[in-house]
Amino acid sequence: MGQFLGHLQNAQPPQSNPLLNNSISKLREYHGSFQSVCDTFSIDLTEFEQIFGSNETMFQIWDTDNNGLINALELFSGLIIFAESNFEEKARFLFDLFDFNELNSLSLIDLDFMLLSCANATFKIMQINNEVNEEEISDFLSNFFSDNQRVNISQFLKWCVKTDEIRQFLQLIKKEAPELKVTAQTEQLSQKIDVLRQVFSKEFGKKLLLPDSKRPYFDQRGLGSILSSKAYHSKIQWISSLAKKVYAPQPQVFQKDVYAKMNWVYGFRGKDMQSNTDTALNEKMIFFTACIIIVYYPKINEQRHYLEHESEVISVAVANNLSLMASGEYAEQPAIHIWDNNTLHNIGVIKGVHQKGVHLLTFFGNDELLASCGIRVASPILIYNIKDFTLVLSTQVNEFAVDLLTIKNFIGSFGGAQYRQQQINQQSLLNPFKKYENSFVVCTIYQIIQFQYYDGHFLTKEIQLEEYNLTSPLTCATALRIYSRDPYLKAYQAEEGEAIVIISGHQNGAVILWENFERMDLMTTYKDQIVCITSYQFGIIIGTDASTIHLWDFKFKNNIKNIDLTAFSFKLFSYVISDIVVAGDKLLVASTEGDVVEIFLQQKQEHSSNSFVNKLRANRINYIIQLSGTLQALCILERPDSDDKLVFCAGSQSTVYGFSLETHEIVDVWTIGDQISSMDCINFEDGGAVFAL
C-alpha cells in the first residue's frame, strides 16, 4: 500500500463538497433512495439528482471518464469514508454495502473490491489523477487472508484496528482512526492472567528448577516393558472410552453450506433456444446454462446467480418494469419461476400444468399476465395471473409454436398519458384489439394468432399461411404498433392511422409484412434462412444463418446497414446467429456455439432525406462462452508472472478451454481430435504445461 499512501501524502485536502462529512444515518437514507431509484450499480445524472438533489457539478467529480454514468459502489464508499462519524459505524456500513449475498461475511474478492472502490473514490474526491494499482491492493490483502477465507464483521473490525496501513490512510485524509476498546471485563481478565502467571512462577517454577542433587534419576526402559505395564493399559482404556464419547456416530444432517458462494459461471446455452439472452436497461445481461440463470453486469464484470431451479432452464422473459423475471424449465413436470433480477428473490413457482418443457414466455397486460408455450407438437398455450398465480386461460395451437411476442409500441400521444388513456378506452369499446397492451401473438410454422384479453375472456385473430400460398415454414417474427403512413412521426400523428404490424421471417429467406391481419406484402428475400427478427428505434433488424445482419427502416424502403460477422477482426467459434437482443444503442448477437458479440450502433437519422449516418464498432464478449459436450476433466495452472491462475477444462467434444480465474476471460482454446477423459498441469518457473488424455 506504499504507492497508494504516497500519492495521498502529496495531495491537497478535498474541496468543499456538500455530500462529504454527512452522518452515517443520512448516508443510509441516500442508499435507500438509490435502491428504490436504480436497478443496477450505475447511476446517471437524472438518478443522481433524484437521490442526492445535487447538481451536475457534483456528478462530474465522480464521472471522470465522461460516459454519463458513475459507479454507485465507488460513490457510497467515498461518502462513507469521508463521513462525520466514528470508525466502527463506517466500517459496518462498508461491510453491509459489499455483502452482496447477505451472508454476513465477506470473501477475499469482496474485500479486494471494497478496498479498490475506497481507493478509487478517495482519488476522485482528492482530485488525484493517478490510477489505483489493483495488484498492490491484492498483494496487501493476501498478506492477511487466504483465498478461500471468509471474514465476519467482528474479524473485519479487529483487522482494521490492528493494521497500520488502515490507520495511516485515515490519518492522511484527516479522519478518525480505529481504536481498541478496553472494557471492564477485559481489565478483569487481564488481572486474572497476571495473577495466574505469578502463581505459576512461584509454585511450578520451584519444582522444575530443582538442584542436581535432588533431581530423581530416570531409568531407560524398553518398549516391551512399557506396553506390558499397568499404567499403559489404564491409559489405553481411558483414551478408548474418551474416543467413544468424542467420536460417537451422529445422525447425518445435510444442510446448505451458507458460506459457499458461487463466484463465476463459465457457460452459456447457445443452441436449440428461441431466445437465450435478454437485457435490462442496458446494464445487465441475463442468460442461462444448465439450471443456473446468470445476471451479468458487464460494466463492473460481475455475475450474480439465480439458483432456485431444479431442472434445466430453457427460457427466460423480462417484464416491462425490467426487474420482474420469468424462467421456464425442461422437465417432465416443468416449473415456471417468477423472480426479481435485482434481489434474486423468488416471488413464486407455477407447476403442474405444462408437460415436458416451457420453451417460450412473455409478460403482457401491464406485467400482470404471463403467457407460456409448452414443448409439444400441438403447443399448449397457458396464461397465468402474476398476482395470485392462477390459470386464466388454457388452450393450444395446432402446430409447434416457434415464437411468442408482445406488441412493441412505436406510437406516442400529443395529448399526454391521460388523454391517450381516454382514447384507448373509447377505441377499445369499438375495437377491443386496439388495446394492444393486453395482446400477445403466437407464431407457429404455418400460422400467426393474436390473443386479445378483453372483459375477462380472450378474443383471437388468425393468419393461415396456406391461404396466401406460402409454403415455406415461419421461423421467427416481431410485432409492432406503428403509424402506417409515417412510422417516424411517433408523437404527433392522428391515432386512427395506427396499425399492428407483424414481420415474419421464413426458412426460404423471405421477409413478409402483415398489416392489421388483413394485408400481406413480401418486403425482401435473402438466399439464406431467417433466424431472428427484432425491432429498434430506427426500424427492423434481420439475422440470417449465413452470419449476416440487415438493418431496415420500418417501411423497408431503406436498407440502413448490412453487417457480416465474418468481416470483424476477431474470431468466433461459430458464425451462425441464434439470437439478437437490442440493448439501447447496441446489439447483442449470440451464436449457436455460445459467442456473444457486442455491436455498438452509432446511428443518426436525417429526416429531410430519409437517410441514416452509420458508424459501428464491435467486440466479442470474452466473459461468455458455451462449453461444448460433457465436461470430464479440469486442472489449474499458475501463471509465473502474476498471481493469476488458469483453469483448463475439456470433455466429450475434444475441445480444451482455458479461463483466467482472475478476470474470467477465455485465454486459450485448442482441440486434440478425440474426447478427453483426464487432464493435469505442471508449473515451471517460466511457464507451465497442460496434459490432456
Residue with the bigger pLDDT between 311 and 7: it is: 311
Return the pLDDT at 240.
Answer: 54
Does residue 183 carry a pLDDT above 60? no
Asked whether residue 439 is assigned to any structural domain, the reply reads: no
Return the pLDDT at 491.
Answer: 46
pLDDT band at 432 (very low <50, low <70, confident <90, very high): low
Measured from the Cβ of residue 436, the count of other Cβ atoms closer than 10 Å reads: 22
pLDDT band at 428 (very low <50, low <70, confident <90, very high): very low
Separation between Cα atoms, residue 585 and residue 614, nearest integer Å: 12
CATH code of the domain covering residue 268: 2.130.10.10
H or E element at residue 162: helix 153-162
Residue with the bigger pLDDT between 646 and 421: it is: 646
Q: Quick one: residue 272, left, alpha or beta (phi over 0 = left, psi -120 to 50 = alpha)?
A: left
Does residue 493 carry a pLDDT above 50? no
Return the pLDDT at 109.
Answer: 79
pLDDT band at 270 (very low <50, low <70, confident <90, very high): low
Helices (H), 180-275: 184-208, 223-227, 230-246
Asked whether residue 187 is assigned to any structural domain, the reply reads: no
Separation between Cα atoms, residue 120 and residue 150, nearest integer Å: 24
Return the pLDDT at 468.
Answer: 92
Does residue 643 carry a pLDDT above 90? no
Residues 343, 348, 353, 356: what is their CA dihedral angle, to the nearest 10 degrees?
A: 30
Separation between Cα atoms, residue 266 and residue 665, nearest integer Å: 9
Separation between Cα atoms, residue 315 and residue 201, nearest integer Å: 74
User: Would you give the DSSP letter of residue 173?
Assistant: T
* Same domain (yes/no): 266, 151: no
Asked whether residue 200 is assigned to any structural domain, the reply reads: no
What residues contact residue 256 under an 8 Å CB cut-off, 6+ apart?
none
Furthest-apart CA pair in the chain: how many Å? 120
The answer to whether the CB of 463 falls within 8 A of the CB of 514 is yes
What residues contact residue 441 under an 8 Å CB cut-off, 6+ apart?
403, 404, 405, 406, 407, 448, 449, 450, 451, 477, 479, 502
Give the best-scoring range by mean pLDDT among 185-189, 210-214, 413-417, 473-477: 473-477
Return the pLDDT at 672.
Answer: 80
pLDDT band at 208 (very low <50, low <70, confident <90, very high): very low
The answer to whether the CB of 302 falls within 8 A of the CB of 262 is no
For the ranges 61-70, 541-550, 561-570, the lowest mean pLDDT is seen at 61-70
Separation between Cα atoms, residue 615 and residue 636, nearest integer Å: 42
Q: Which domain holds residue 638?
A: 631-692
Separation between Cα atoms, residue 378 and residue 400, nearest integer Å: 5
Helix (H, G, I), strand (E, B) or coil at 647: strand
Return the pLDDT at 536.
Answer: 87
What are the beta bridge partners of residue 499?
A: 482
Does residue 253 carry a pLDDT above 70? no
- DSSP secondary structure string for all residues of 327-374: EEEESSS-EEEEEETTT--EEEEEESS--SBEEEEEEETTTTEEEEEE
- Within 13 A of 150's CA, how many CA atoms are on the CB side? 14
Does residue 199 carry a pLDDT above 50? no
Asked whether residue 254 is assigned to any structural domain, the reply reads: no
Asked whether residue 190 is assigned to any structural domain, the reply reads: no
User: Would you give the DSSP letter of residue 397?
Assistant: -
**CA distances (Å), origin 427, targets 326, 388, 520, 677:** 31, 30, 24, 66
**In what side-by-side order are the strands of the sheet with 401-405?**
401-405, 439-444, 447-454, 457-464
Q: What percent of the chain has pLDDT over 70?
A: 77
Does residue 231 carry a pLDDT above 50? yes
Separation between Cα atoms, residue 673 and residue 107, nearest integer Å: 40
Asked whether residue 410 is assigned to any structural domain, the reply reads: no
What are the beta bridge partners of residue 580?
A: 589
Return the pLDDT at 606.
Answer: 58
Helix (H, G, I), strand (E, B) or coil at 239: helix
Return the pLDDT at 496.
Answer: 59
Rg of the chain on CA atoms, in Å: 33
What residues contact residue 202 under an 8 Å CB cut-off, 6+ apart?
none
Asked whether residue 681 is assigned to any structural domain, the reply reads: yes
Does residue 459 carry a pLDDT above 90? no
Separation between Cα atoms, residue 238 and residue 232, nearest integer Å: 10
Residue where one domain finishes, among candidates 349, 379, 396: 396
Return the pLDDT at 210.
Answer: 37
Separation between Cα atoms, residue 338 and residue 421, nearest integer Å: 29
Cα–Cα nearest to 296, from 288, 307, 285? 285
Helix (H, G, I), strand (E, B) or coil at 482: strand
The answer to whether the CB of 407 falls within 8 A of the CB of 479 is yes
Residue with the bigger pLDDT between 488 and 21: it is: 21
Residue with the bigger pLDDT between 100 and 518: it is: 518
- DSSP secondary structure string for all residues of 494-555: -GGGEEEEEEEEETTSEEEEEETTTEEEEEEE-SS-EEEEEEETTEEEEEETTSEEEEE-TT
- Within 13 A of 145's CA, how many CA atoms are on the CB side? 22
**What's the average model confidence in pLDDT over 435-456?**
86
Buried b (16+ CB within 10 A) or exposed e, 613-629: eeeeebebbbbbbbbbe
User: Would you give the DSSP letter of residue 226?
Assistant: H
Cα–Cα nearest to 311, from 357, 349, 270, 354? 357
Q: Which tens digit of pLDDT belongs to each residue from 48-57?
A: 888 887 667 7
Give the best-scoring range by mean pLDDT among 155-164, 235-244, 355-364: 355-364
**What's the average model confidence in pLDDT over 134-155?**
83
Per the prediction, the chain carries an average pLDDT of 77
Separation between Cα atoms, residue 252 and residue 37, nearest integer Å: 46
pLDDT band at 444 (very low <50, low <70, confident <90, very high): very high
**What's the average model confidence in pLDDT over 387-408?**
86
Is pTM beyond 0.85? Reply is no
Q: What percent of the chain has pLDDT over 90?
A: 14
Does residue 216 carry a pLDDT above 50? no
Return the pLDDT at 274.
Answer: 53
Residue where one domain finishes, among candidates 157, 172, 187: 172
Asked whether residue 419 is assigned to any structural domain, the reply reads: no
Domain count, the chain: 3
What residues contact residue 614 under an 8 Å CB cut-off, 6+ apart?
560, 561, 601, 602, 603
Residue where one domain finishes, among candidates 120, 142, 172: 172
Question: CA 144: distance to chain centroid?
Answer: 29
Return the pLDDT at 434.
Answer: 63
Return the pLDDT at 416.
Answer: 43
**CA distances (Å), origin 121, targets 14, 59, 64, 118, 401:** 12, 13, 11, 5, 51
Q: Are strands 70-71 and 666-671 parallel, antiparallel or unpaired?
A: unpaired
Residue with the bigger pLDDT between 138 and 224: it is: 138
pLDDT band at 218 (very low <50, low <70, confident <90, very high): very low
Q: C-alpha cell of 299?
A: 460494466
Residue with the bigger pLDDT between 279 and 570: it is: 570
The answer to whether the CB of 369 falls within 8 A of the CB of 352 is no
* Same domain (yes/no): 134, 271: no
pLDDT band at 22 (very low <50, low <70, confident <90, very high): confident
